[in-house]
Amino acid sequence: MLKTTAEDALEYHRMGGRPGKISVVPSKPLETQRDLSLAYTPGVAVPVLEIERDPRLAYEYTSKGNLVAVISNGTAILGLGNRGALASKPVMEGKGVLFKKFADIDVFDIEVNTLDPEELIRVVAAIAPTFGGINLEDIRSPECFAVEQRLQAMLDIPVFHDDQHGTAIILGAALLNALELVNKRLDEIKVVFSGAGAAGVACARQLVTVGVPRENIWMTDVKGLIYHGRKEEMFPEKAAFAQGDRPATLAEVMQGADVLIGLSVANLVSEDMLRSMRRDPIIFVMANPDPEIKYEVAQACRPDAIVATGRSDYPNQINNVLGFPFIFRGALDVRASAINEAMKLAASKGLAALAREPVTPEVLKAYGLTHLEFGRGYIVPKALDKRVCLWEAPAVAEAAQASGVARVQFDLAAYRQQLADRLNVSV
């Protein structure tokens, strides 16, 4: 396993004499007097007047259609909590790098210095005309639910809180493939959540979209089971997954479970809890950097399990890098007004399908492997598999077209080829 020291991380961010991880690069020539007159005055007045006449032309004459705002107020940075807007900037720049590297999407990262969700909503709404989409990030729960919902209702571009939906979409793909491998059905499994924050609620919602009955989902948090009538640390999105009418511990709820989904804290789950699960358990423990139970411990305790974490140094990494660049790629390219449930489901199914395809030599080389195929140790594609965009973005675009939120229609086979050419990936 590769070890990264604090000094390694700091040197990476300051090296090269240009601190940070992103920059702005011109996309048009600016070498001659004519170039200057076209790029700025007097030539720039022409697209100004055209866009005033027809706002849709902003997609033709500006970078709007390939530009996403990555926005945070720093109230829930990674697993570090509220560290302030400025401290969130390295993370937001990191998202920008991933958007560009994996899907050729440009990003402005914007850190908003406010703890007031109403002010945050006003700021984002005011700057929205610049962008083709809004990626909200590291905004604390439960405020993040209202911020996303309100903004999406106000704006005609996608608003996507990645801490919720990114993990949820990858989880959906992983569960679909894991269930196939253990020969269990969506409508017969018992799913237990450890963690009921933004990611936990969104993941539970995505499982319902995928086909898990809501009554089969049991959600716990630091106070135990979310049950009907509970008053402590509740909010409506969490209460929607209440089960039963009395308190229970995570250990009690896990008895007879088929699936454990951890989005909480390290080392919360014991071997005895895993032993109480049914045959062929699916154990997705995604707390970072350390999961709810160590991968090796879970695998040794339950050799019949399919185990996944959020880490790149173990098999079956469930990480949102497999989601947001490609979801936005598909959404931007059809000029979608929103990212809806149909598009999220399509993203999950596209990822699940790619994991069943033969793994390319390039992926094996990137991970230092000689062989990898669909099975218990490989249920979602690798993050460095360049084909992910070719499977996920067209699926999202198709769902947007079918569900009525796309403002342009195009041939999906031709679109897939265009993506391959753009990203220099073999179809």
Return the amino acid letter for 41: T
**Token pair of 120, please?**
């945050």
State residue 288's pLDDT score.
85
Of 21, 64, 89, 95, the catalytic one is 95
Closest CA to 414 of 333, 328, 320: 333
Closest CA to 140 of 75, 201, 86: 75
Average of per-residue pLDDT across 278-300:
96
pLDDT band at 79 (very low <50, low <70, confident <90, very high): confident
Going along the chain from its start, the domains and CATH numbers come out as 8-157 (3.40.50.10380), 165-309 (3.40.50.720)
**Token pair of 44, please?**
């720039």
Per-residue pLDDT tens for 137-184? 999 999 999 999 999 999 999 999 998 999 999 999 999 999 999 999
Query: What phi-psi label fits residue 258: left (phi over 0), alpha (psi between -120 and 50 degrees) or beta?
Result: alpha
State residue 346's pLDDT score.
98
**3-state SS assignment for residue 157:** coil
Average of per-residue pLDDT across 95-116:
97
Closest CA to 163 of 105, 202, 193: 202
CA 150 vs CA 86, 123, 125, 156, 166: distances in Å: 24, 13, 10, 12, 19
Which tops the pLDDT comparison, 226 or 17?
Answer: 226
Q: What mean pLDDT is reported for the chain?
A: 95
**Token pair of 348, please?**
């999950």
Closest CA to 164 of 189, 146, 190, 178: 146
Return the amino acid letter for 176: L
Residue 95 annotated in active site: yes
State residue 337's pLDDT score.
98
Average of per-residue pLDDT across 402-426:
95
pLDDT band at 249 (very low <50, low <70, confident <90, very high): very high
Residue 295 annotated in active site: no
Per-residue pLDDT tens for 328-349? 999 999 999 999 999 999 999 9
Q: How far apart are CA 277 and CA 257, in angstroms?
A: 5
Q: Check the CA dihedral 89-90-91-97 and report its sign.
A: positive
Q: Check the CA dihedral 410-414-420-421 and report its sign.
A: negative
Single pTM value for the model: 0.94
State residue 99's pLDDT score.
97
- Long-range contacts made by residues 316-320, C-beta under 8 angstroms, separation at least 24? 316/174, 316/377, 316/378, 316/379, 316/380, 317/380, 317/382, 317/383, 318/167, 318/170, 318/171, 318/174, 318/284, 318/286, 318/380, 319/167, 319/170, 319/383, 320/162, 320/166, 320/167, 320/169, 320/170
State residue 105's pLDDT score.
97
State residue 2's pLDDT score.
61
% residues pLDDT > 70 (the chain): 99
Per-residue pLDDT tens for 188-240? 999 999 999 999 999 999 999 999 999 999 999 999 999 999 999 899 999 99
Of the ranges 13-22, 73-82, 155-164, the best mean pLDDT one: 155-164
pLDDT over threshold 90, residue 78: no
Per-residue pLDDT tens for 306-336? 999 999 889 999 999 999 999 999 999 999 9
**CA-only gyration radius of the chain, Å:** 22
Average of per-residue pLDDT across 29-51:
95
